[in-house]
Chain A
Amino acid sequence: MRTFDIVRRAGRSLKHAKIRTILTSLSIAVGAFTLTIAIAAGEGARQYTDTLLSSNIDPQILVIAKEKNFFEGGQSGPQEYSEDSSLMSRPGANPVAVLDQEDVDNIEARDDISSISPSYTISAEYIAGPDLEHKYTVDVVQYDMGITQEVVSGELPELRTSIEDDQIAIPEAYVELLGFDNPDETIGKELTIRLQKTTGVSTQQGKDFTYEVVAVVGRSATALTATDSVQVSNSSARAMSNFSTEGTPSYQKYVIATASVVEGVDPAVVKAELVEQGYGVQTAEDLQSLLFTIVNTLQGIVIGFGILALITSVFGIINTQYISVLERTREIGLMKALGMRGRHVSRLFQFEAAWIGFLGGVIGSLLAVFIGVLSNPAITEQLTLGEDNYLLVFEPLPIVLLVVALMVIAMVAGLLPARKAAKLDPIEALRTE
């Protein structure tokens, strides 16, 4: 018997048992729906992460720490104390070995590093506008040359170029606080940042640093930076850091430093060399794979649920097909009496199961695409993913593969009932009593 004819007969048999077919398919559809959503969410999350990273992070960037395993789940518990150890205590965490000025200078001296900026510790008292009346707490960070920022007003230099030492970039939130009416008004104005020495000695010393506003940066949906911090140039940050930490153990000690690798040199190569020297290094690619790992884990969990649903539906198929075989004993007997081979009878039932898998897969995935496309704008808004970024990205190939896989699974599930049908004795099956 031709496969085509068997497939057609299988399809017709299912049509004659519409309700049973639909119900069994729906159980598969639940699994297919979950899996389609999971695949789409994973794809969407990866694409989003990719957009996020490529629009934010310079691929030439290296993040360097003193400890080798700094980026691999943090440091290994309590560290042995030693007086000159460059351990820095951090609130709520174990002390960590830190980079000192020598490390920074050594790395900067390398030919393949174009610049390095350590993470400075700056404890500012307040920031004040030109009138020195509005004073607000502030977090000062150094200007990151490796990321692209959304500029609301003013201008920032291009990638891998720093702002001037007397310049400052402020987030939009400060515009009104410091007494300006709009972002444009702030450009070129002078701001004062008050620093306090953190020596712990009673003689409190303060110092004012003044800067000219070069740009107001906005909060972009795909920005990774904490845009509530004001940004100053690398050397300004160093000056401020040195001032506030002078005389303390954390003077010229840095948890991490961000280095920029010279264009044309593979950051991975530089990383390998630095790791050999004992540093902990993370490249932009590492960061990406780290984020992907998180995405993959979350996706794995959802897929797990989908598979659970599928396993349930597999038993549904087996049950349905067994009942179908019992119901159609006569029909099977007749077909066998007419000379249909056992394996063709088996195939008939397996193709029926495959049809059920196909239907379930198509119903589930189409429903998922339909609901996903409808709810994408709402999800984007809820999660502030930014325009044209969608959490659920449906690609045709995975869906097709999913449907095919479901057909195969259904066929496997239909194997047992199909074999029962194939082994049926036509004489027994055709007994009229």
Chain B
Amino acid sequence: MIEINNITKTYGKKKNAFRALKDVSFSILDGASVAIIGKSGSGKSTLMHAMSGLDKPEKGEVLIDGVDILKLNQKTVDKFRSDKIGFIFQAFFVQANESSFDNVALPLEISDVSLGARKRRVKAALNKVGLSDKEKQKARNLSGGQRQRLAIARAIVNEPRILFADEPTGNLDTTTGASIEKLLFGLNKKDGSTLVIVTHDADLAAKCDIRVYIKDGEIEKIVKSKKTKKVKK
């Protein structure tokens, strides 16, 4: 379970201070799919960074399974991210001159997984996203959709508890986007991991169990889909 309690994040100092998040609170049950929706500059990315331990809001708590990640030291936060978090970015951020295998292996290398287990898990992850045949291909030779699949494989190879996706379909055409969406929600249901999507795409957001609308650093509204009771305010 993820609990966000009264977090406030300010950028800049004194006169130039800009409050990106103002006293934001909500919570998410395990296995839910959540959309954080807002315009650019609304604070939605900052919120994602705070939830994943990349950024430290100066006030509030981010409780993940009861542990406040804002109070952990850098080393523990790094370990927390490498063990429990998966990231998918709009611009994929795959390493173009590395092979698919080495791209996906990076998180496992970071978390000290043995060579044998690494091989097995990378293959499994590539299989899940349908890129088994591209294992030795350099990422630069993959299409946009394939690159995002590769990014997803990299995000799930560590079997994370929470998967963050920042505009995962933003750079893709409608058809490819749709297949990526399908893949993400499929993984969310199948693996039971929590999926947090940051987006301004209303259609994509509509497919999530819970939608957190954010505006000027504050929560505007939280909408739960009727089909599920997993999420509570």
* Given contacts A427-B49, A427-B55, A430-B89, A338 and B106 within 8 Å (CB-CB): yes
User: Are A432 and B90 closer than 8 Å at their CB atoms?
Assistant: yes
Asked if A90 lies at the interface with its beta carbon under 8 angstroms from chain B, I say: no
User: Are A1 and B78 closer than 8 Å at their CB atoms?
Assistant: no
- A337's contact among B74, B80, B83, B87, by CB below 8 Å, is which? B87
0/1 interface trace, chain A 308-345, chain B, CB 8 Å (1 if under)? 00000000000000000000001101111111111010
Give the residues in chain A near B74, CB-CB below 8 Å: 341-342
A2 to chain B: closest residue by CB? B112
User: Are B54 and A337 closer than 8 Å at their CB atoms?
Assistant: yes
Give the residues in chain B near A1, CB-CB below 8 Å: 109-110, 112
0/1 interface trace, chain A 139-150, chain B, CB 8 Å (1 if under)? 000000000000
How far is B79's CA from A340's CA once the two chains are assembled, in angstroms?
8
User: Are A340 and B95 closer than 8 Å at their CB atoms?
Assistant: no
Give the residues in chain A near B78, CB-CB below 8 Å: 336, 339-341
How far is B108's CA from A1's CA once the two chains are assembled, in angstroms?
9
Asked if B98 lies at the interface with its beta carbon under 8 angstroms from chain A, I say: yes
Residue of A12, A333, A339, A340 with most partner-chain B CB within 10 A: A339
Asked if B204 lies at the interface with its beta carbon under 8 angstroms from chain A, I say: no
CB distance from A264 to the nearest CB of B (A): 67
Give the residues in chain B near A304, CB-CB below 8 Å: none
How far is B106's CA from A336's CA once the two chains are assembled, in angstroms?
11
User: Are A339 and B89 closer than 8 Å at their CB atoms?
Assistant: no
User: Are A427 and B54 closer than 8 Å at their CB atoms?
Assistant: yes
B85 to chain A: closest residue by CB? A339
User: Are A9 and B109 closer than 8 Å at their CB atoms?
Assistant: yes
User: Are A331 and B80 closer than 8 Å at their CB atoms?
Assistant: no
0/1 interface trace, chain B 75-118, chain A, CB 8 Å (1 if under)? 10011111101010111010101100010001101111000000
How far is B93's CA from A334's CA once the two chains are assembled, in angstroms?
7
Helix, strand, loop or mixed for chain A's interface?
A: helix
User: Are B98 and A338 closer than 8 Å at their CB atoms?
Assistant: no
0/1 interface trace, chain B 105-138, chain A, CB 8 Å (1 if under)? 0110111100000000000000000000000000
A341 to chain B: closest residue by CB? B78
How far is B97's CA from A16's CA once the two chains are assembled, in angstroms?
7
In the complex, chain A residues 410-433 whose Cβ is within 8 Å of any chain B Cβ: 426-427, 430, 432
In the complex, chain B residues 136-176 whose Cβ is within 8 Å of any chain A Cβ: none
Q: How many residues of A contact B (CB 8 A)?
A: 23
A6 to chain B: closest residue by CB? B109
Give the residues in chain B near A340, CB-CB below 8 Å: 78, 82, 110
Asked if A5 lies at the interface with its beta carbon under 8 angstroms from chain B, I say: yes
How far is B81's CA from A390's CA once the two chains are assembled, in angstroms?
62
User: Are A339 and B109 closer than 8 Å at their CB atoms?
Assistant: no
How far is B98's CA from A336's CA once the two chains are assembled, in angstroms?
18
B106 to chain A: closest residue by CB? A338
CB distance from B214 to the nearest CB of A (A): 17
User: Are A5 and B54 closer than 8 Å at their CB atoms?
Assistant: no
User: Are A338 and B55 closer than 8 Å at their CB atoms?
Assistant: no
* Given contacts A338-B82, A339-B79, A341-B75, A430 and B109 within 8 Å (CB-CB): no
How far is B106's CA from A348's CA once the two chains are assembled, in angstroms?
13
Give the residues in chain A near B97, CB-CB below 8 Å: 16
User: Are B80 and A339 closer than 8 Å at their CB atoms?
Assistant: yes
Give the residues in chain A near B80, CB-CB below 8 Å: 339
How far is B210's CA from A159's CA once the two chains are assembled, in angstroms?
105
CB distance from A63 to the nearest CB of B (A): 69
Give the residues in chain A near B111, CB-CB below 8 Å: 339
User: Are B110 and A338 closer than 8 Å at their CB atoms?
Assistant: yes
User: Are B109 and A5 closer than 8 Å at their CB atoms?
Assistant: yes
CB distance from B86 to the nearest CB of A (A): 9
How far is B106's CA from A340's CA once the two chains are assembled, in angstroms?
9
CB distance from B39 to the nearest CB of A (A): 15
Give the residues in chain B near A12, CB-CB below 8 Å: 98, 102
Give the residues in chain B near A427, CB-CB below 8 Å: 49, 54-55
CB distance from B124 to the nearest CB of A (A): 18
Give the residues in chain B near A341, CB-CB below 8 Å: 74-75, 78
User: Are B54 and A426 closer than 8 Å at their CB atoms?
Assistant: yes
A330 to chain B: closest residue by CB? B93
A16 to chain B: closest residue by CB? B97
Give the residues in chain A near B85, CB-CB below 8 Å: 339
In the complex, chain A residues 5-54 whose Cβ is within 8 Å of any chain B Cβ: 5, 9, 12, 16
In the complex, chain B residues 170-190 whose Cβ is within 8 Å of any chain A Cβ: none
The residues of B with any CB-CB pair to A shorter than 8 Å are 49, 52, 54-55, 74-75, 78-83, 85, 87, 89-91, 93, 95, 97-98, 102, 106-107, 109-112
- Known contacts A339-B81, A340-B78; 15 additional CB pairs below 8 A are A1-B109, A9-B109, A337-B54, A338-B81, A338-B106, A339-B79, A339-B80, A339-B82, A339-B107, A339-B111, A341-B75, A342-B74, A426-B54, A427-B49, A427-B54
Closest 3 CB pairs of A and B: A339-B82, A339-B81, A16-B97
A-B contact list, 26 entries, CB within 8 Å? A2-B109, A2-B112, A12-B102, A334-B93, A334-B95, A335-B106, A335-B110, A337-B52, A337-B87, A338-B81, A338-B106, A338-B110, A339-B79, A339-B81, A339-B82, A339-B83, A339-B107, A340-B78, A340-B110, A341-B78, A344-B110, A426-B54, A427-B55, A430-B89, A432-B89, A432-B91
